[in-house]
């Protein structure tokens, strides 16, 4: 694959993290091949809620993730504007328990330096007439919505402009190991042509999110990723313009997100073993409907347009589901397991994908002895459509 003497890095996975990492490393002068068993963003990334987090949701329980979010929120708005609807978000209090959360919310939001404005309930209702009228308190934050596929494509298209190759529908079946036990490439199954292709590289980056444990398993190492799915239900009317959040500890079905002509409610949180197919159940759809109606009663006049499930890749620890941090982690398997040529990046949010890529690229540079600065913070991404214009590989 490599026709140059630049170091060749193979990235497994073309979700947000894989595409953003390809972009970062291509800018730093690496030769990049991304292998993906499906399409761009056909796993967790495509099925995200589409919320460009301000960090406000995590400012009390998970300030590390909140700080990452607010910083990357501003960055993505700068570099990926055509993929984003930026109309702001509102946290609303509907009962006493919500009101009781307000103090810690404000404290958290201030300590994370997230811009916040307290709004008068009457003022909120004038702007958002479809909201539950029994609002007790409301706070505006810089939330937004994005189109998941286009965001991933924008990173991928820009990396292609800088020379990266994408092999879609190529499933990694084995990792190649040299005589000294180092990872030196991947063995893939090209599902377009039904043939096997081996690709050699100087480094393999495992950017497979919720599947990171499975790919790490091919190298005989463990990554403590806990696939934690949540359900989303889309309704056929755009009933609000702001992202509406319930002002409380993060829970099920407490965000209504406007996107195109729809309102999308999410989400839940539970853990699974197998992430290849996770069914959406009636109970979850009913729960989302009830919760959505509590925030935006006009949902009752709308129809369900879609319902879907996606598995967050949360970094495991002794706690469960909602209490797991939304931050990300980069694993150097040489350090942790004595396996060279192999790193894993997982965890995180769509909003923080660029930062995840930066950290991964820093590690790859360190390991391959390359001195190159990250340049992705300021550089505007190219049009997502260009991904297809440079051919399919």
Partner 1 sequence: MSSIRWKVTFIITRQRSKSKCYQQPFLLEVDPDEYILDCIERIWAFHDRSLTFRHACHHSTCGACGMRVNGVEKLTCITAIRSVTQDGGTVHIEPLRNFPVLSDLVVDMSTFFLRLEQVNAATVLPLQEACLPGEIKDQPVIESGQYERLVDCIECGLCISACPTALTSSSYQGPATLAAIQQGCQPGNQPFQILLADHEDGVWRCHSAYECSAVCPSNVDPAARIMNLRRRILTQHIRSLFSRQPEEAKNE
Residues of the shown chain interacting with partner 1 in the complex, contacts defined by CB under 8 A: 38-42, 45-47, 50, 81-87, 126-129, 145, 147-150, 152, 169, 171, 191-194, 232, 234, 238, 241, 258-262, 264, 276-277, 279-282, 285, 305-308, 383, 385-389, 391-392
DSSP collapsed to 3 states, the chain: CCCCCCCEEEEECCCHHHHHHHHHHHHCCCEEEEECCCCCCCCCCCCCCCEECCCHHHCCCCHHHHHHHHHHHHHHHHHCHHHEECCCEEEEECCHHHHHHHHHHHHHHHHCCCCCEEECHHHHHHHCCCCCCCCCEEEEECCEEECHHHHHHHHHHHHHHCCCEEECCEEEEEEEECCCCCEEEEEEEECCCCEEEEEECCEEEECCHHHHHHHHHHCCCCCCEEEEEEEEEEECCCCCCCEEEECCCCCCCCEEEEECCEEEEECCCCCCCCCCCCCCCHHHHHHHHHHHHHHCHHHHHCCEEEEEEEEEEEECCCCCHHHCCCCEEEEEHHHHHCCCCEEEEEECCHHHHHHHHHHHHHHHHHHHCCCCCCCCCCCCCCCCCHHHHCCCC
Q: Which is nearer to partner 1, 279 or 338 (CB)?
A: 279
Q: How far is the CB of 301 from partner 1 (least distance, A)?
A: 15
Q: How far is the CB of 343 from partner 1 (least distance, A)?
A: 26
Q: Which is nearer to partner 1, 46 or 185 (CB)?
A: 46
Q: Which is nearer to partner 1, 171 or 337 (CB)?
A: 171
Q: Which is nearer to partner 1, 85 or 332 (CB)?
A: 85
Q: How far is the CB of 126 from partner 1 (least distance, A)?
A: 8
Contact 32, 164 (CB under 8 A): yes
Q: How far is the CB of 310 from partner 1 (least distance, A)?
A: 8
Q: Which is nearer to partner 1, 130 or 248 (CB)?
A: 130
Q: How far is the CB of 114 from partner 1 (least distance, A)?
A: 19
Q: Give the total residue count for the chain.
A: 393
Q: How far is the CB of 262 from partner 1 (least distance, A)?
A: 7
Beta strands 255-259; 243-246: pairing state: antiparallel
Q: Which is nearer to partner 1, 87 or 214 (CB)?
A: 87
Q: Which is nearer to partner 1, 236 or 336 (CB)?
A: 236
Q: How far is the CB of 10 from partner 1 (least distance, A)?
A: 21
Q: How far is the CB of 13 from partner 1 (least distance, A)?
A: 14
- Encoded tokens for 65: 């993730």
Q: Which of 313, 292, 312 minimizes the C-alpha distance to 301?
A: 292
Q: Which is nearer to partner 1, 127 or 334 (CB)?
A: 127
d(CA 235, CA 347): 29
Contact 114, 54 (CB under 8 A): yes
**Radius of gyration for the chain, computed over Cα atoms and rounded to the nearest angstrom:** 21
Q: Which is nearer to partner 1, 29 or 308 (CB)?
A: 308
Q: How far is the CB of 229 from partner 1 (least distance, A)?
A: 13
- Using alpha carbons only, give the angle 170, 176, 182 rounded to the nearest 5 degrees: 140
Q: Which is nearer to partner 1, 49 or 367 (CB)?
A: 49
Q: How far is the CB of 210 from partner 1 (least distance, A)?
A: 14
């Amino acid at each position: 694959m490599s026709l140059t003497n630049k170091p060749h890095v193979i990235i497994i996975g073309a979700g947000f993290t894989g595409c953003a990492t390809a972009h970062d490393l291509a800018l730093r002068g690496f030769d990049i091949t991304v292998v993906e068993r499906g399409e761009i963003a056909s796993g967790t990334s495509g099925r995200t809620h589409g919320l460009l987090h301000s960090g406000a949701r995590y400012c009390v329980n998970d300030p590390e993730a909140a700080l990452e979010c607010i910083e990357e929120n501003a960055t993505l708005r700068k570099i990926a504007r055509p993929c984003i609807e930026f109309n702001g978000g509102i946290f609303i209090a509907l009962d006493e328990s919500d009101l009781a959360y307000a103090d810690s919310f404000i404290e958290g939001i201030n300590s994370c330096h997230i811009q916040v404005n307290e709004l008068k309930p009457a003022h909120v209702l004038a702007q958002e007439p479809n909201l539950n009228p029994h609002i007790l308190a409301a706070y505006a934050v810089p939330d937004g919505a994005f189109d998941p596929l286009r965001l991933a494509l924008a990173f991928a298209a820009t990396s292609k402009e800088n020379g990266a190759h994408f092999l879609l529908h190529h499933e990694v079946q084995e990792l190649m190991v040299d005589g000294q036990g180092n990872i030196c490439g991947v063995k893939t199954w090209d599902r377009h042509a039904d043939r096997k292709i081996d690709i050699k590289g100087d480094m393999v980056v495992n950017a497979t999110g919720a599947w990171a444990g499975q790919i790490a398993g091919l190298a005989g190492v463990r990554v403590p990723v806990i696939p934690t799915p949540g359900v989303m239900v889309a309704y056929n009317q755009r009933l609000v313009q702001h992202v509406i959040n319930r002002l409380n500890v993060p829970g099920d079905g407490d965000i209504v997100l406007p996107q195109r002509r729809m309102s999308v409610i999410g989400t839940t949180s539970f853990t699974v073993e197998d992430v290849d197919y996770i069914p959406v159940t009636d109970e979850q759809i009913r729960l989302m409907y009830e919760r959505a109606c509590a925030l935006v009663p006009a949902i009752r006049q709308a129809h369900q347009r879609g319902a879907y499930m996606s598995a967050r890749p949360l970094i495991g620890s002794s706690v469960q589901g909602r209490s797991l941090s939304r931050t990300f982690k980069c694993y150097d398997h040489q350090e942790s397991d004595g396996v060279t040529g192999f790193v894993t990046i997982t965890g995180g949010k769509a909003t923080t994908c660029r930062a995840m890529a930066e950290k991964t690229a820093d590690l790859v540079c360190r390991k391959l002895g390359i001195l190159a600065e990250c340049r992705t913070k300021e550089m505007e991404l190219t049009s997502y459509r260009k991904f297809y214009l440079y051919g399919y590989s």
